[in-house]
Amino acid sequence: MAKAKTDIELDDDDFIEEDDTPDTDSAPNSKASLTKRRLIDNYLEERRLQRELTEFDFD
């Protein structure tokens, strides 16, 4: 299967992004993005602290 060759034709139109939407909705998107980022940061911090607890030598 690794030796199988396939010809893939790509249209340039598939990669052109047209931005006809106004920028009025960027504020809610940035707020949601910031909220998601904070959630991810909190999750990563919690995982880091849990890892430190498991590696801590209590003796």
Structure pTM?
0.48
**Which DSSP state fits 21?**
S
Q: How many residues belong to the chain?
A: 59
Tokens encoding 35: 């909220």
pLDDT under 50 in the chain at which residues?
Answer: none
Can you tell me the distance from the alpha carbon of 11 to that of 6, in angstroms, rounded to the nearest whole number? 16
Can you tell me the distance from the alpha carbon of 51 to that of 43, in angstroms, rounded to the nearest whole number? 12
Q: CA-based angle 45:50:54, to the nearest 5?
A: 150
